[in-house]
Amino acid sequence: MTAKPIVAVSSDRRVLDPHPSHIAGEKYLRALIDGADTLPLIVPSLAEDIDVDDLLERVDGIALTGSYSNIEPRHYGVEASDDPGFHDPHRDAMTLPLALRALEKGVPLLAVCRGHQELNVALGGSLHQNIDTVPGYHSHLENKDDPIDVQYGPSHPVSLMEGGLLRELAGSASQMVNSLHAQGIARLADGVTVEAVADDGLIEAFTVDSAPGFSLSVQWHPEWRVTENEFSMAIFKAFGDACRERALKRQVPRE
């Protein structure tokens, strides 16, 4: 039996009555198991105690998950925050350098929602702190009073760029996606290729040009009920295949 590739999963640091805890949503773990056929392992947001290079030598992929928290705006050159959410500086300290080092070392990387925003910021881009207040964009935030199936249901179309990875995976020029985010890309980082754009022009996906391995960053939530959506399954299968390729290389004895 071949061992499944190991995927390091980002975590949120939350205080849970009264203990600091490091957590990741089960929907991401399930998607990595059911969609990518990998073994997900949650990495605590303890940046001072975890050597990134050591971690990357032991895993076959990195998954940057979504979160209810937002990135501290100082990471993209804004001192004051006017966003309506809360911050998780411990996660920022872990994921921003981890993302960059993973790209440099060719470790397959899949970023979703907050992870999408993290990757853009890590590469030098910036964010709209509240899309609702930016002229020209419609609201991308879910109605939290709706049933969960409605919140994660199709919300708006995205155009998939010709010649791009997502266009190839979808086999079509557009797809309907869900939308559960208050923040989004303002200034796109240099050295990336846009993969998908929302109907109002918001950049919803990109790949990293210089990455020697798989890299894909999406603003929506393909992890939600992944096995029920062909496009989402294609995304996670492509990521899983890249992780399997790395796992095989990592298992070859070094001379």
State the SS3 of 209-236. CCCCCCEEEECCCCCCCHHHCHHHHHHH
Q: CA–CA separation, 107 vs 102, rounded Å?
A: 5
In 11-59, alpha helices (H): 26-34, 52-58
Q: Are 69 and 12 in contact (CB under 8 A)?
A: yes
**Phi and psi at residue 220, in whole multiples of 5°?**
-85, -170
Where residue 175 falls (left for φ over 0; alpha for ψ -120 to 50; beta otherwise) is beta
E strand spans, the chain: 6-9, 12-16, 19-23, 39-42, 61-64, 69-70, 86-87, 109-112, 127-128, 156-160, 174-177, 184-185, 192-198, 203-208, 215-218
From first to last of the 255 residues of the chain, give the pLDDT tens digit.
578 999 999 999 999 989 999 999 999 999 999 999 999 999 999 999 999 999 999 999 999 999 999 999 999 999 877 776 789 999 999 999 999 999 999 999 999 999 999 999 999 999 999 999 999 999 999 999 999 999 999 999 999 999 999 999 999 999 999 999 999 999 999 999 999 999 999 999 999 999 999 999 999 999 999 999 999 999 999 999 999 999 998 876 554
Q: Are 21 and 42 in contact (CB under 8 A)?
A: no
Q: CA–CA separation, 56 vs 51, rounded Å?
A: 9
pLDDT the model gives residue 80: 78
For residue 153, what are its two tokens?
């249901």
> What Rg do the C-alpha atoms of the chain give, in angstroms?
17
Catalytic residue numbers read 113, 221, 223
